[in-house]
Chain A
Amino acid sequence: MSLTLLLVQGLNGLQLGILLFLIAAGLTLVFGVMDFINLAHGVQYMLGAYLAAYFAAQTGSFWWALALALPAALLVGLVLEVLVFRHLYDRDHLAQVLATFGVILILNDGVKWLFGAAPLQVPMPADLTGGIPIMDGLLYPHYRLAIIGGGLATAGLLWWLVERTRIGMLIRAGATNAPMVAALGIDIRRLFMVVFGFGAMLAGFAGVMAAPILSVEPGMGDNLLILAFVVIVIGGIGSVRGAFLAALLVGLVETLGRSLMPDLLRLLLDASQARQVGAALASMLVYIAMAAILAFRPAGLFPVRAG
């Protein structure tokens, strides 16, 4: 029985890790290539979910919503780049933090204004509503497996883009030394815009996929943003490979910690104490892991930038 629980929680952790990776991938690229700290990346995930909710309500189909929400998320990302972010590349990190914080305030209250504060529901795609039996009487939903599959496929696509194409080569070069890339005659501003739009679309994709299993509400991106930051700090800023491994690690630690910690502590403490201490400890676990990794490797597991 507890083995089943472990399996289910492991899959849930994997699924959280995949969502985190989709958000962290864009963040780490924007960060690595442009040295730009974008707090508004979490609201781009939220926007993806809201766009999915809107288009799903309009078209009645999840797949149409997915197909329409992705370009819309890309468009929003590009508009934000032109209106706000573009003017901040040359400013210090403090200015970037504050201006992108302003974007969060605007978009979080903006969706509240347009869609109301109540959470929205997005129906699951009809062909993925069932589940597969993983043990007697226990079904694991198809849709969650589809998230894992879709996320892994996207990760593969991203690997191919970054490692095997010309634009990927430029992105990697930009993450290592952006001024040098510009000096070699590459239009670095255009590269920035492409990376930015692409990152926004990935975060939007994560939002669309999360929409049917989570409630779509203002501020839903904020907590994931923090976890995504933890992911890219652990993985090493600018490294997609690092982000992937760190995202899975964080997803598993977060999910398994929450489900197992109270049980583990019950061996030492009485039930109610174990529940309280366990909950507190579980919520700290990810950050403790981050601190431990940074204590030994201050630049993360896979540092990109030399020096």
Chain B
Amino acid sequence: MRTLAKEAPALLVLGALAAAPWLGFGESWALTLLARAMILAMAAVSLSFLVGGAGLVSLGHAAMLGFGAYAVVILDDAQIVEAWVVLPVAITAAAGFALVTGAVAIRTSGVHFIMITLAFGQMAYFTATSLSGYGGDDGYTLYARTELGGSRILSDRLSFHFICLGALTLTWLVCRMLLASRFGRVLRAVRGNPLRAQALGFSPYPYRLLAYVIAGGLAGAAGFLFANATEFVAPAYIAWQRSGELLFMVILGGIGGLHGALLGAFGFVLLEEVLSHQWEHWRIAFGVLLILAVLYLPGGLAGLPAQLARRRGGG
């Protein structure tokens, strides 16, 4: 029962998404917005797994998303649009990039790790801008969305909504299971005190690297969906600012649990949608809110009820 109560916010969000098309969010702009939120939530959940679970603050997570998206682009250019081919390639490409860069980055910790993931993320970005065969800086428009077993199920808005929802739910379940498993406990032990974990006989390096690769692969799957949602991929999607936004989602929701990343991603997309319609220079307001959230909301949105209760109890 207690675990159910703890997972209530996440289940509530996922349930609301399942019902959304019949709750007044069935129009195409609303579905587009929700798809974007769900896909970003996938990436945010995988990043939350990394930050909250393994204590690895990556500032290059958007690059993983980018590897997934560019896998779709490159295969689209070669006229391969079968999901059973494209999706595994997208996941493998992102996980492979995570493996290669993680092998170097995980050797370091703390601030070094942040900066090295940032640098590798930018490396991916600049490489994408120099791919002149795939539009370079300007980006690449897909000929068509990926097909599943020859059927164009991804092109139907409502089906795509549920595909995204399924993928998000799966991502959430995988991360949750991993965190609850022995693997997840070792990760938390390493995060808490690497030396102690080592003394107990767990070498931190392979565990952290595996976590990094898994999070990369999940973000690659999100990238696959992202490319299909927008039918357009540009290097701007994987610039380091996007990585910063993903981290913002994670901390806006709160890193105490994975449901924080869900709340954070939806809060972020909603805020962006509202603000960008109000004011041309909405990012200023966005930045102010970000700073205020960091200074006054240490537990994130998920920690807000507890924070308010504490204040009421204290005052």
How far apart are the CA atoms of A94 and B122 in the complex, in Å? 19
Name B284's contact: one of A39, A106, A233, A280 (CB within 8 Å). A106
Tell which of A1-9, A11-19, A58-66, A287-295 binds the partner: A287-295
Question: In terms of DSSP, what is the predominant structure of the interface of chain B?
Answer: helix
Contact of A98 among B248, B280, B283, B288 (CB under 8 A): B248
B215 within 8 A of A: no
A295 with B110: in contact, given A98-B251, A109-B287, A276-B132 (CB under 8 Å)? Answer: no
The dominant DSSP class at the A interface is helix
Q: Find residues 97-138 in chain B having any chain A CB closer than 8 Å to their own CB.
A: 101, 104, 107-108, 110-112, 114-116, 118-120, 122-123, 126-127, 129-133
- Of A120-128, A205-213, A222-230, the stretch lying at the interface with chain B is A222-230
A49 and B229 CA atoms in complex are apart in Å by: 39
Tally of A-B Cβ pairs under 8 angstroms: 134
Question: In the bound complex, do residue B290 and residue A98 qualify as a contact, i.e. CB atoms below 8 Å apart?
Answer: yes
By beta carbon, the residue of chain A nearest B292 is: A102
Contact A97 B104 (CB under 8 A): no
Chain A residues positioned under 8 Å from B118 (CB to CB) = 226, 229
Whether B130 and A283, one on each chain, are in contact in the complex, defined by CB atoms closer than 8 angstroms, is yes
Known: A101-B244, A229-B115, A280-B127. A287 touches B120 (CB 8 A): yes
Band of interface residues on A: 35 or more
Partner among B57, B108, B123, B127 whose Cβ is within 8 Å of the Cβ of A94 = B57
Residue positions of B touching A, CB distance < 8 A: 51, 57, 59, 101, 104, 107-108, 110-112, 114-116, 118-120, 122-123, 126-127, 129-133, 240-241, 244, 247-248, 251, 255, 280-284, 286-291, 293-295, 298
For residue A112, which residues in chain B have a CB less than 8 angstroms away from its CB? Answer: 281
Interface string of A105-139 (1 = CB under 8 A from B): 11011101100000000000000000000000000
Tell whether, in the assembled complex, residue A110 and residue B127 are in contact, meaning their CB atoms are under 8 Å apart.
Answer: no
Say whether A265 faces chain B, with CB atoms less than 8 Å apart: no
Q: Contact: A294 with B114, CB < 8 Å?
A: no
Chain B residues, Cβ within 8 Å of A232:
115
| Bound CA span A295–B111, Å | 16
B255: chain A residues within 8 A (beta carbon): 94
A-B contacts, 9 of them at CB < 8 A, read A31-B111, A39-B244, A93-B114, A98-B247, A102-B287, A105-B284, A226-B119, A229-B115, A283-B129
